[in-house]
Amino acid sequence: MYNTIPDQLRKLAIENVFSTNTYRNCWQTWQPEIIRLLGNNYTENEILNIGDHLSNIFRSTGGGGRGQGELSASGTAWESLVCWYINLCTIGSRVVAIKKMSIVPKAIQDAITVNYGNFACNTESDITIIVFPDLVEYNTDINQLNILNNLGNQIQPIVRNKFNLKITNHLAERDFNQFEIGIIQCKTNWNDNAQIPMLWDMIYSAGGFRGRNITIGRNGYNIQNAQSFSYSFVTVPSNQNTIYNPNGVAVKRVTNLSGGNYWGNPSVQNVAKSLKEIFTNNFQTGSRTGLRTDIRTAIPELTTNNSLAYFGLY
């Protein structure tokens, strides 16, 4: 169970999150608080509702300093927590959230690259969301698969009872126009950073600005050729004593993002949605039975040292 290509990539993404000292240190504080919020005999409701509390969970580790080191560590921790939560809520689906760019399939890395003259950049993709197509290769245990890759003049098996990144690279090239792609920019501070997602979403939505030598994509891959593309903003926010309202400048800047504006608090109309709403807004097609059903099915595996132990909830 939980041995499909999306499931295996999800596991790798979460293992990469836990590989950092910053996240492991924070997790010592976050994990007991998450367990407390879930309560005994929790259901899919409690898991999804963690999205209403992510900001308080994040703040529980303190670290409100404004030095560059504190800001960098804080930003990394927030990105990692968001990545963990999205993957938790998409267990068993074809939706995967990835923080480490090197494990994103190369075709998708190429498609989201912004070229400014001869300079290529995709550094504002804090988290990349992949929705794998609803094809047999992505819904079947990899032990039952034998995917063939045309390598030179020979057809050789690259999948047989084993997962590696060659699988996702090959399949993303083959099925690129059926993949859905999402970019999530994560910032702890809303006021200082709201203009950044606004401008990046403009560039992606416009497909670049050729008159200014700004283009999207490389090696023949472009987000416009994918099944769909969205750009979202997720903030804590860490701004002290700030009241956000629909007419505020920071709110206005992210109001019309293609993927929406979210935070780790309950939704406030015309200000920001709880992060738990990102699934129905952007990634509904990633599950045959619905994310709630997928989570419900996964709960027994989350609470034991079993196939989903890598989430750290048992």
**With 80 as the cut, is the pLDDT of residue 158 above it?**
no
**Secondary structure in 3-state letters for 73-94:** HHHHHHHHHHHHHHHHHCCCCC
Tell me the whole-structure pTM to 2 decimals.
Answer: 0.92
pLDDT classification of 304: cutoffs 50, 70, 90: confident
Model pLDDT for residues 228-277, shown as the tens digit of each residue: 999 999 999 988 778 999 999 999 999 999 999 999 999 999 999 999 99
Please report the pLDDT score of residue 162 as a whole number.
Answer: 65
Each domain of the chain, given as residue ranges in start order, spans 5-311
Please report the pLDDT score of residue 212 as a whole number.
Answer: 75
Please report the pLDDT score of residue 65 as a whole number.
Answer: 43
Which has the closest alpha carbon to 312: 103, 24, 10? 24
Q: How many CB atoms lie within 10 A of CB 291?
A: 22
Please report the pLDDT score of residue 299 as a whole number.
Answer: 95
Question: Structure tokens of 280?
Answer: 């129905």
Distance CA 22, CA 73 (A): 7
Query: Mean pLDDT score of the chain, rounded to an integer?
Result: 89
pLDDT classification of 306: cutoffs 50, 70, 90: confident
Inter-residue contact 94 to 198 (CB < 8 Å): no
**With 90 as the cut, is the pLDDT of residue 302 above it?**
yes
Pick the more confident residue, 304 or 162.
304
pLDDT classification of 64: cutoffs 50, 70, 90: very low
Please report the pLDDT score of residue 174 as a whole number.
Answer: 95
Model pLDDT for residues 284-297, shown as the tens digit of each residue: 999 999 999 999 99
pLDDT classification of 150: cutoffs 50, 70, 90: low
Query: What pairs with residue 214 in β-bridges?
Result: 116, 209
Instruction: Output the CA angle 203-205-210, nearest 5 degrees.
Output: 50
DSSP state of 259: S
Distance CA 263, CA 160 (A): 41
Q: How many CB atoms lie within 10 A of CB 44?
A: 18
**With 50 as the cut, is the pLDDT of residue 68 above it?**
no
Residues of the chain with pLDDT > 90, as a percent, come to 72
**With 70 as the cut, is the pLDDT of residue 126 above it?**
yes
3-state secondary structure of 109: helix
3-state secondary structure of 272: strand
Q: How many CB atoms lie within 10 A of CB 59?
A: 14
pLDDT classification of 123: cutoffs 50, 70, 90: low
Run of H or E residues at 56: helix 54-59
Distance CA 122, CA 102 (A): 12
